[in-house]
Chain A
Amino acid sequence: MSLNPKHVLIIDDEPVMRKLLEQILKSKYHVTTLENGQEALNWMYSGNIPDLVVADLKMPVIDGFEYIQRVRESGFFSDVPLIVLSGEESSSERIKCLKLGANDYLIKPFNPEELALRIENLLRLKL
């Protein structure tokens, strides 16, 4: 890991998926994992601003759609790159996410190398 690693926030209510993403990304990034959109918003409004978010869609309390909407409507986090990683395969869900302001969309099961490259690309664009 570099001396000043980028901070990636993972939001997924499924523990196996959270652990998998953490394991895959932790060698390169500082990783925080949270269980739903409400936890993520609370964490962010407590002063934590991630460099990039990877979020699931179907989550309790606040789901991925509402989370994206609230992040994009906020003044503080509206430019944080956001990748949706979902088991939803329909194009209507993907379009809805992109309309709400998600930067990218991957379907589970995902290729970890592809996810890593998409994260890298978005972080590079953000520089």
Chain B
Amino acid sequence: MEQHSPLFDLNQLNELAAGNPEFVGVMVDTFLTHTPSQVEQLVLSFEQGDLKRMGEVAHKLKPSIDLFGIERLQTTVRSIEQKGKAEHKDEKLSLEVEQLNSVMGEVFSELKKLLPK
């Protein structure tokens, strides 16, 4: 069940690192630098009724959500992307955007703890 999966999973990144100790840190830092503004853009686009833009941002967020193993959002981000592409607003879209914003906020907070102080 997506709701009960861990917040994120860095196994894939650790595998890609192939023993390079800096790799995961660089990727987490890049993610934390750039992804929060993308989430803000997605939420803002939804609030402004710009569903096409919302879908485009979801499309861009999708690989990062997969890469960081954020399983709770893998279906959600694809649903938002598809609804944006079709410019289709249904009763679930608001909840999906809210879920994405909330889970990503938690992910950012937890990932920040992994970075050296």
Residues of A whose CB lies within 8 Å of any CB of B are: 13-17, 19-20, 23-24, 58, 87, 108-109, 112
Contact = CB atoms under 8 A, between A and B. Distances in A.
B interface, by DSSP: helix, strand, loop or mixed? helix
A58 B23 contact: no
Contacts of B31: 16
Given A14-B63, A17-B64, A108-B62, 18 more contacts: A16-B27, A16-B31, A17-B63, A19-B27, A19-B30, A20-B16, A20-B27, A23-B20, A23-B26, A23-B27, A24-B16, A58-B60, A87-B62, A87-B63, A108-B63, A109-B63, A109-B66, A109-B67
B60 A23 contact: no
Nearest to A24: B16
Interface of B: 16, 20, 23, 26-27, 30-31, 33-35, 56, 59-60, 62-64, 66-67
B30 A15 contact: yes
Contacts of A109: 63, 66-67
In order of increasing CB-CB distance, the 3 nearest A-B pairs are A15-B34, A109-B66, A19-B30
Nearest to B59: A87
Contacts of B30: 15-16, 19
